[in-house]
Chain A
């Protein structure tokens, strides 16, 4: 049956993953991961995002079977409890930041390795390797040695090697980090296409928010061994759970205001507002602040820096008091350092952080 599937389009089973109370304390007592509960839906691409040391790689390695969770933690693939299984018996595909390709083998031998381990007959093996190399546009490199390939080609070989065995889950540990920017973009698109097409459950670890937004069905933002927020890229971007998430994803401005009896005072302006009375800290994206005239502006400040980005000009505006604000103006804007500007705030776009 898998053969007929292969001929149409390579498609893999969508196995859900469940983590129950998975924590990790290293010898010596350092807590790498606070106990974590998470369900990853079958076929979903989930991205663990966070700065280094946040626990994202530890989580991935627990799913992979390269680390075991602290006592009491469980890892389930579908209905099967795999907690006690080492990685070689979990049937996962894994892609590493440093490729981990075998230098003693050719591209073909690398891709065939997992099939050999599974004792797939020679003819079947050769056919599946060839199909996978074609899928990854690696046909012409079949006989090459690994050291004769570029970084992008190596990572495509690593993907082919991980996928050819039809794993239950695909795990990617910062697969694009070692590549230069341009290659990173093109390979990211290729991975995106691949993950959508295969329908496999994929867990992707990165510290790059752009990658996370582009690839993730859902993103798990992590900090200091804890989950800060789980949500779709839109939720994470527009409704960050806290200041850390807001700052980590994209650019966020902070405004101080005072809420009193259904109004909010920011600078000299008063806006309609619902919320408890008192000082509030507000977050607003650069694209939700607009340049305005003196008459309809809410805040005024001086341009401290203007960076021309082509389609827009990014301004850093220093208000009379409070932290500097980042605002986007039209690309053709002639505003420059020292100019006085007025900004309009849409109260519906303001986020109050607890």
Chain B
């Protein structure tokens, strides 16, 4: 009875919308599911009836574990760098609005607008000869920081612009708090959502970055996406797909974790 009432109330418009939504979802998820499934299939060309196996995942972990670890290392180093550079930069831009600040903001956005390949080439031409930098993972890190910094600055700046930061700080100062205390107990906690959003962006972008990294890497400093391109180009499709699966398993938990952090109540500062 109840079911019937429910379906009676929902007109054809509802079902049309539901159908369309599911179609769009399918369009986005089916290729991903297919790809991941391919990584678990014994023989992709035979299909699922060839059976499921963890053999390819195993092989990826054996051959490419170095790239996975390097990607994580670079991503977290990149996050630390953008936090240390980006949050103070956003604060400075928020506190001193003016033409100069806008100019700096635009300059910061440049690496996003310029193709990654061009940035990478410029880096190689300019700094490629400095010591052992060219062969160090730090060279890739520099590229990633350049590319992700604007996202951190923008995310933090957006939150700083939406709260009355100046008055909040004046309030804290009137109670006797000097600059460091104001910054850590009032400014940072109230920009938490922007900092988390920025961190999420930076981690994801760094782990998945290919354009810059492809030019900046050396055979000894391969990251996950570079390895992925390698494996798709030169190995069986099952291995490439298993690699993609590993990538998903790596990135999704960190995404969920950070989303959860963003939702959780107040910070414990």
Residue B19, interface by CB 8 Å: no
Given contacts A102-B190, A161-B175, contact A96 B269 (CB under 8 A): no
Give residues of chain A (95-113) contacting chain B, Cβ–Cβ below 8 Å.
96, 98, 100-105, 113
Our pick among A64, A101, A102, A103 for the contact of B174 (Cβ within 8 Å) is A64
**A98 and B173 within 8 A (CB):** no
Query: A103 with B176: in contact, given A66-B170, A94-B171, A96-B171 (CB under 8 Å)?
Result: no
Q: For the complex formed, measure the closest distance between the CB of A168 and the CB atoms of chain B, giving whole angstroms.
A: 12
Chain B, Cβ-Cβ closest to A171: B174
B172 on the interface (CB 8 Å rule)?
Answer: yes
In Å, the complex CA distance between A103 and B186 comes to: 9
**Nearest chain B CB to A91 CB, angstrom units:** 7
The B-contacting residues of A in range 48-68, CB under 8 angstroms, are 64, 66
B185 surroundings in chain A (CB, below 8 A): 102, 113
CB pair B171–A103 under 8 Å, yes or no, is: no
Answer yes or no: A114 CB below 8 A from chain B CBs. Answer: yes
Q: How large is the interface on A (under 10, 10 to 19, 20 to 34, 35 or more residues)?
A: 20 to 34
Residues of A within 8 A of B17 (CB): none
CB distance from B156 to the nearest CB of A (A): 15
A276: chain B residues within 8 A (beta carbon):
none
Select one of B164, B168, B173 contacting A88, CB under 8 A.
B173
**What residue in chain A is nearest B175 (Cβ atoms)?**
A114
In the complex, whether B266 has a CB less than 8 A from a CB of chain A is yes
B66 interface hit (Cβ, 8 Å): no
Encode B155-182 as 1/0 by CB contact (under 8 A) with A. 0000000011001101111111110010
Please tell me if A162 contacts chain B, counting CB pairs below 8 Å.
Answer: yes
Question: Is B267 positioned at the interface, with any CB of A under 8 Å from its CB?
Answer: yes
Instruction: Report yes or no: B269 in contact with A100, Cβ–Cβ below 8 A.
Output: no
Question: Is A92 interfacial (CB-CB < 8 Å)?
Answer: yes
Q: How many residues of B contact A (CB 8 A)?
A: 22
Bound Cα distance from A92 to B178, whole angstroms: 14
Q: Say if the beta carbon of A118 comes within 8 Å of chain B.
A: yes
Which of B168, B177, B181, B267 is A100 in contact with, Cβ under 8 Å?
B168
What mask results when residues 178 to 200 of chain B are scored 1 for a CB within 8 Å of chain A, else 0? 10010001100110100000000
The minimal Cβ–Cβ distance linking B196 to chain A, given in whole angstroms, is 13
> Contacts A98-B164, A102-B190 hold; do A113 and B175 have CB atoms under 8 A apart?
yes
B186 touches A91 (CB 8 A): no
A94 CA to B169 CA, complexed, in Å = 12
How near does chain B come to A175, taking the closest CB pair, in angstroms?
A: 13
Q: Is the CB of B177 within 8 A of A117?
A: yes
Task: Determine the distance from Cα of A93 to Cα of B176 in the docked complex, in whole angstroms.
Answer: 9
Q: Complex formed: what's the CA distance from A70 to B100 in Å?
A: 26
Q: Mask for A151-171, Cβ within 8 A of B = 1, else 0?
A: 000000010011001000001
Q: B residues within 8 A CB of A103?
A: 163, 190
Q: Is the CB of A100 within 8 A of B164?
A: yes
A114 touches B176 (CB 8 A): yes
- Nearest Cβ distance between residue B186 and chain A, in whole angstroms? 6
Apart from A88-B177, A100-B168, A113-B185, 7 more pairs, CB < 8 Å:
A88-B176, A89-B176, A96-B170, A98-B164, A102-B190, A165-B175, A171-B174
Chain A to chain B: the 6 pairs with minimum beta-carbon distance, closest first:
A100-B171, A114-B175, A94-B174, A104-B189, A117-B176, A100-B167
Give 20 pairs: A residue, B residue, CB < 8 Å, sorted on A. A64-B174, A87-B173, A100-B164, A100-B168, A100-B170, A102-B186, A103-B163, A104-B186, A104-B266, A104-B267, A104-B269, A105-B266, A113-B172, A113-B175, A113-B185, A114-B175, A161-B175, A162-B175, A165-B176, A171-B174
